[in-house]
Structure 1
Amino acid sequence: MGGPVHPRDPKDRGPRSYTLLPWLLMGVGALSNLIQGEAGNPWLAGAGLLAFNSLYISVVILAFNPRLRDTRRPLYALAGLAVITYTIAIGYGGSWLQFFPLLSLASGAVRPLRGKPLTIWLVFLSGSAGYLAGWDGDGWDGMGIGYGTFLSGTVTAAVLSLSDTVRELRATRQELARAAVEKERLRFSRDLHDLLGHTLSVVVVKAEAARRLAPRDLDAALGQVADIEAVGRQALTEIREAVTGYREGSLTTELDRARSALEAAGIEPVVRQHGPALSPQAGALLGWVVREGVTNAVRHSGATRCEIEVRVTPEGDRARLTITDDGRGPAPAPGKTPGTPTTPGTGLKGLTERLSSAGGTLDAGPDGRHGFRVVAELPVDAEEPVGGARAGG
């Protein structure tokens, strides 16, 4: 959960320290008693009244200070306030007993005291306040003072705890909103990578084919140009759908596009599909793998043959997609010699995350001495979690 909200934050609507200060008016009776000379030694009583008010204000300010409220300083100030309260209550009685509810109210605001320690302290405080009031007056006065003392502390602690919970919930909600935005940005960036990376690769391959064919076979070159136009229009449609968040891939469509892209790149495609139909979500996920795997084969492999096979495992609960080519695999990283194992690119990493979120796996690496293999496996009825990683990287 988020940390405490600074009390000066304009979005924080929790109680402030000044909300507890007006309760000092409960000491008006003691002040009147002092002015009328009914408190014995007026100088000593005045000093006690001043000390109580000063310590009460100190406790309240410390209890609401975000840097000091979780330290022991409010406890020390509260201990001093308790000593003064018992001293003046025992010494003068009467209206001076009204300071017990104020002490209880200040106790409820002290964070380190909350929980079981606060309950024990309030029981002791209200009991002793009721006893002193009953000893000084009658039993009903004692019950009233004791009940008011206990109620002041418990209500204050409950209200402030609820306020803290509300602020923490608000901070958590803001954090969740930021996380949702980040997830959506990641999803959108991955979708754009998969959409544009594959589409632009197909456009480049078909443009090169058209350039090679133009001098000797104009009709074939025009056919490639027409394919480029169709791919571009389809890409625009897919981008619009991705922007609105409703894009749903199709395994059959991706297999057809893969066959066309491989043929245009001069790579012999071999596509085999066996077993029962997959769920739309599982088909869409495997469609992303086909798109990424074929794009890598066209760009980097230098292969002459690429095999794509989709089948259901013998157990009948998982689908497996295998893409194998006879090329040299992805280009080695800078500073590495050919044949050195390569690190999967962002596309394969994103696909691994996507399949993992749906209960599947993805493995990619060299296929023996030559070529490259991508194997994806996931449940036949797999579904991607809502708001999860919906796109490859």
Structure 2
Amino acid sequence: MRDRRRQKEAWKADWAVRKAEWRAREKRRKACGESPDYGRGPMGPPNAFTLLPWLLLGMGAISNVIKGETPNPWIGALGLLVFNSLYITLVFRAFDRRAREAASTRWCLAALGAVTCALALAYGGNWLLFFPLWGLATGAVVRGRTLGPVMFVVTGLAGAIAGLDEGWDTLGIAYGTLVSGMVTAAILALSETVKELRETRQELARAAVDQERLRFSRDLHDLLGHTLSVIVVKSEAARRIAPRDMDAALGQIADIEAVGRQALTEIREAVTGYRETSLAAELDRARGALTAAGIEPVVRQSGPPLAPQAAALLGWVVREAATNAIRHSGATSCEIEVRSTRERVRLVITDNGGGVGSTLPGSGLTGLTERLAAAGGTLAGGPVPGPGRGFRVTAELPVENPETAENEES
């Protein structure tokens, strides 16, 4: 009962939404000077109430009972009451999946068939019209591969029993039974498919929003982590050298201003989703940040130019690894090596610090690992093996030759 109430409330809510959409659409048509579209209204999904008016097919049998044209009218009236009760129960259960698939629903459908056959054999005539109602209830309850065999049995019984009374008119009863069941099943299956597609679309929209939030959080972490580290390092350098060399301190402050302005520009571009990291620019920034932090940078680059996507991904890796080396490693030197071929590119960043640069909790390398994996690459980081201390970050990516990409696009 509670499930049925919730289902009824969901139908009402969906109807209200459709009605509001229809009214808004009509207002727009009126504002544009178009004539009202009277042929289309706020149609809701089919429900149990849409199948109840078909009970009017039994009005002929009810009329026979009332006029006394039926032998044993009390038995006929009892049969009508049982048939209508079973039919209403089945159509309401048909729109609740758990109730529809329950064994009790199958027994109700079988009981409805038994009552239909008994009334048709006993009275014939108008009572044969209960067979299409039985077929309709069957199409509403039975789904999937079992629908065909069940409808074959129902139609066969309808044709056989009607043939005893109507002769060639049996074809109309059998055809009506088959069509009512199959059309009802097709409409309800289509309605459920539309509902599932709508839910899937909503879920995909939510997933897209979550993915965009994740992308933005990664970009913001990488941007602010690197920029704030550079600002902190240059501020410390300015504070240390200010008593001795004010001009050099002012130079560091000018660098802080430039870094801050650049960070503002990058954040605006990241918000709009159009930011592309350049590997060459990130290598220059890393070289400057490492030098300001007292870490000697060694940058080596060889191989053909990289495609923009690969360069952007590796630029993020350089930014994150350089930030970690400045903040956590305590290193005195940092080597950055980029080797590329026409098939793959390999980026190796090694420092001689304490070997903990990217193992700290909250490191952005976790997000970068996911990014590279999505592009078919790998990212690994860990202490340098062998004697000495240090930390190494290695990134590999499949690359596409820029000239080939341009030719394919053209």
Could you say whether these structures have the same fold, taking a TM-score greater than 0.5 normalized by the shorter chain as the test?
A: yes
| More helix per residue | 2
Q: Post-superposition shift, 1:343?
A: 5.7
Give the alignment of 1:121-160 within 5 angstroms.
Answer: 121-139=150-168, 141-160=169-188
2:135 is equivalent to residue 104 of structure 1: yes
Partners of 1:53 and 1:7 lie apart in 2 by 21
2:41 is equivalent to residue 15 of structure 1: no
Relative contact order, higher structure (CA 8 A, sep 6+)? 1
Q: Post-superposition shift, 1:119?
A: 1.4
2:80 is equivalent to residue 49 of structure 1: yes
Q: Per-residue displacement from partner, 1:349-384 (whole Å, max 9, x unpaired)? A: 11111111111111111113311111111112299x
* 1:377 aligned partner: 396
Partners of 2:308 and 2:348 lie apart in 1 by 19
Give the alignment of 1:39-188 within 5 angstroms.
Answer: 39-110=70-141, 113-139=142-168, 141-188=169-216
Q: 1:377 to 1:59 in 2, by over 3 A?
A: same
Q: Per-residue displacement from partner, 1:88-142 (whole Å, max 9, x unpaired)? A: 10000011000000010011111xx323322112222222212322321230x10
Q: Post-superposition shift, 1:344?
A: 6.6
Partners of 2:317 and 2:347 lie apart in 1 by 8
SS in 2 for 1:327: coil
Partners of 1:171 and 1:367 lie apart in 2 by 50
Partners of 2:319 and 2:83 lie apart in 1 by 77
* 1:321 aligned partner: 347
Partners of 1:382 and 1:46 lie apart in 2 by 84
Q: Per-residue displacement from partner, 1:180-234 (whole Å, max 9, x unpaired)? A: 1111111000000000000000000000000011000111111000000000000
Gaps of 5+ in 2: 1-5, 16-43, 403-410
Which of residues 283, 301, 309 is equivalent to 2:311?
A: 283
SS in 2 for 1:180: helix
Partners of 2:285 and 2:360 lie apart in 1 by 26
* 2:19 aligned partner: none
Partners of 1:144 and 1:99 lie apart in 2 by 13
* 1:213 aligned partner: 241
Q: Post-superposition shift, 1:46?
A: 1.1
Q: 1:321 to 1:210 in 2, by over 3 A?
A: same
After the TM superposition, which of the residue ranges 76-85 and 9-18 deviates more from structure 2?
A: 9-18
Q: Post-superposition shift, 1:345?
A: 4.4
Q: Which runs of 4+ in 1 moved over 6 A?
A: none
2:354 is equivalent to residue 354 of structure 1: no
User: Structure 2 counterpart of 1:123, which letter?
Assistant: F
* 2:327 aligned partner: 299
Partners of 2:117 and 2:105 lie apart in 1 by 18
Q: Residue 359 of structure 1 contacts residue 382 of structure 1 at CA under 8 Å; is this kept in 2?
A: no
* 2:269 aligned partner: 241
Aligned residues: 365
Q: Residue 109 of structure 1 contacts residue 156 of structure 1 at CA under 8 Å; is this kept in 2?
A: yes
Partners of 1:148 and 1:227 lie apart in 2 by 85
* 1:336 aligned partner: none
User: Structure 1 counterpart of 2:137, which letter?
Assistant: A
Q: Post-superposition shift, 1:65?
A: 3.4
User: Structure 2 counterpart of 1:381, which letter?
Assistant: E
Gaps of 5+ in 1: 333-341, 384-393
Could you say what the CA RMSD is over the residues aligned between the two structures, in angstroms?
1.8
Q: Post-superposition shift, 1:51?
A: 1.2
Partners of 2:316 and 2:147 lie apart in 1 by 59
Partners of 1:150 and 1:94 lie apart in 2 by 19
Using structure 2 for the length normalisation, give the TM-score. 0.86
SS in 1 for 2:331: coil
Percent identity of equivalent pairs: 65
Q: 1:124 to 1:67 in 2, by over 3 A?
A: closer
Partners of 1:138 and 1:128 lie apart in 2 by 14
User: Structure 2 counterpart of 1:287, which letter?
Assistant: G
SS in 2 for 1:320: strand
Q: Residue 39 of structure 1 contacts residue 45 of structure 1 at CA under 8 Å; is this kept in 2?
A: yes
SS in 2 for 1:40: coil
User: Structure 2 counterpart of 1:114, which letter?
Assistant: R
Partners of 2:179 and 2:283 lie apart in 1 by 73
SS in 2 for 1:15: coil
Q: 1:285 to 1:83 in 2, by over 3 A?
A: same
